Amino acid sequence: MADFHTAGTRDRFTRTLLTSLWALIPVLTLGLGTLPLMIHATVRTRSPAQALATVPYGVAAALFVTLDPDVSAAYEVVFGGAMFFSILVGTGHAFAIRSRVWQRPDAGPLYPLQSRQRALLAAHRDERAARETARGIAATDPHQALELGIGRVDLADRPFPDGGLVDVNNVPATALARHLTLSDERAAQTVRTRVAVGGFTSVDDLSVTMNLPPRHLDAVADRLVFLPPR
């Protein structure tokens, strides 16, 4: 495991070093390599915005070729401005886009594991926000919640995303068994009991009425919703 971690660290260091050297091409070539670098970036990213941003570097390169700073003071100022733009602006631009330019198609961004972490965390936040919104609808307008299919994890074509809520009073026994970690027999008993009592009202009510083990529902409590039985 240590060798694997060391190899991964070495790979990241090498990749960072090489991409940094790539981004320093405008400095290392005194601005002459800026246009080829930007063209390369455009080809790699296939970005219209990057293609548009490459145009000023083309103009600066043309000034390099056509202007002789020894001819006049005006030419010298324009030539110097073009060099300044190509070196300083080009270097900053290159560092800003290097992760996208060197993104591997099969591995995600420059740091694929971190990117996956950020994506998963964002998805969890989005899911949690969706649950809160759906739970608010269930609390203030239960009939609308029923129409939207909130909590009906057994339905594949629900129109309203609810972040994974489970409507304990309306889903079938198979859904209760899967999402509440119940045996098939206990799930079927839960369905019979909810009919007899007119539906459960809360997690505590469900737990006490069905005599579930202590803390059995703790892991899923934030996903349970109790709408009027249909």
The residues spanned by each domain of the chain are 2-110, 141-225
Given this model, what pLDDT does residue 111 score?
Answer: 59
**Residue 2, pLDDT score:** 45
The pLDDT of 218-223, averaged and rounded, is: 93
pLDDT for the residue numbered 67: 81
The sign one gets for the Cα dihedral 163, 166, 169, 174 is positive
Question: What proportion of the chain, given as a percentage, has pLDDT over 70?
Answer: 91
pLDDT tens string 73-120: 888 888 888 999 999 999 999 999 998 888 765 445 555 677 788 888
Band (pLDDT 50/70/90 cuts) for residue 13 is confident
Question: What is the SS3 assignment for 104?
Answer: strand
Contact assessment for residue 160 and residue 149, using Cβ atoms and an 8 Å cutoff: yes
